[in-house]
Amino acid sequence: MPAPVGIPAALVADVDGTIAGADHQVSPRTLDTLAALERRGVPVILATGRSEANVLSIAREAGLTTPAVACNGALVVDPVTGERLRVRTVAAPEVSTMIDLHRRTGAALTWWTPEQIFVTSERLQAELAQLGDGAIEVVAAPSEPPENVLKIMLNGTPAQLDAIGDIVTESLPRVTRSLPTFWELSAHDADKWGALDWLFRRLEIDPERVLGIGDGGNDVRWLARVGRPVAMANAHPSVRKIAVAVAGHHAAEGAAEFLVQEANFWPGVAS
């Protein structure tokens, strides 16, 4: 593993598959590691597809003060004040198309606003609840596109989503397979890199001096733009391809272990 060069200007960390374990929870050890880094002057930026409430809970439990990125870049929120610093919503015609695809394909549907998560099935409600989100309401798909949608997703088994892939991508070329069980759509200017780039400028952070750690295909774009991209052992091959180092598996607190070892190279930053 190449040795780091100096103390990073910031740490950016994905959540699921990275700092969260196989149980979808962020362990006390990992929370303590993140808190120790920020106390020593390294801003810690969480960048996740999870909801605002979920990312705020993690950040506040760790005592982080740096703004966090939620909903895969649709939202940037201050964990100290709760202020929404940047919000990007999906255009109404695209929301309508996703609702139509839900009806045509039979895939379950979920749409997220800053305050609430809506789902069309109890099974999907249970799946999302495993990530720690409590404000999930089961409703029928709306007849008109709702307002303030941060992201909207079709859900099913991997095989089901494979089968409808052509229909979905032909209708909405921007849609992404964020997880094996989700086809996801956010605003055209809402992704993790867009939010991080905005935040780096606001905080006057040089991306070349940022340490980033992630695992998923939707992490590739932003990891490729920071100075020290790190992949988890469980990362998608596209992430490992661009990484300069590989951490342990997320199920074994690999991110915390890597960061503790990394900090040993940083003068003035104790592990």
Question: Is the pLDDT at 36 greater than 90, yes or no?
Answer: yes
Task: Give yes or no: residues 59 and 171 share one domain.
Answer: no
Q: Is residue 75 part of a domain?
A: yes
Name the residue among 227, 231, 210 with its Cα closest to residue 219.
231
Model pLDDT for residues 89-128, shown as the tens digit of each residue? 999 999 999 999 999 999 999 999 998 999 999 999 998 8
Instruction: Tell me how many domains the chain contains.
Output: 2
Model pLDDT for residues 259-268, shown as the tens digit of each residue? 999 998 777 5
Q: What pLDDT score was predicted for residue 271?
A: 45
Task: Give yes or no: residues 66 and 127 share one domain.
Answer: no
Question: Any residues with CB less than 8 A from the CB of 254 and at least 6 apart, and which?
Answer: 232, 233, 234, 247, 248
Question: Any residues with CB less than 8 A from the CB of 80 and at least 6 apart, and which?
Answer: 65
Q: Give the range of the structural domain holding residue 126, as residue numbers without chain letter.
A: 92-186
Question: Any residues with CB less than 8 A from the CB of 243 and at least 6 apart, and which?
Answer: 223, 229, 230, 231, 235
Question: Is the pLDDT at 2 greater than 60, yes or no?
Answer: no
Can you read off the two tokens belonging to residue 84?
Answer: 């929404």
Task: Give yes or no: residues 131 and 202 share one domain.
Answer: no
Task: Give yes or no: residues 100 and 158 share one domain.
Answer: yes
Question: Is the pLDDT at 219 greater than 80, yes or no?
Answer: yes
Question: Is the pLDDT at 1 greater than 70, yes or no?
Answer: no
Q: Which of 186, 221, 238 is the last residue of a domain?
A: 186
Q: What pLDDT score was predicted for residue 131?
A: 75
Name the residue among 225, 216, 224 with its Cα closest to residue 181.
216
Determine which of 122-136, 205-219, 241-255 has the lowest per-residue pLDDT on average.
122-136
SS3 label, residue 173: coil
Model pLDDT for residues 153-185, shown as the tens digit of each residue? 999 999 999 999 999 999 999 998 877 899 999
Q: What pLDDT score was predicted for residue 268?
A: 58
Rounded average pLDDT over 129-134: 75
Q: What pLDDT score was predicted for residue 134?
A: 66
Rounded to an integer, what distance in angstroms lies between the CA atom of residue 148 and that of residue 190? 13
**How much is the pTM?**
0.89
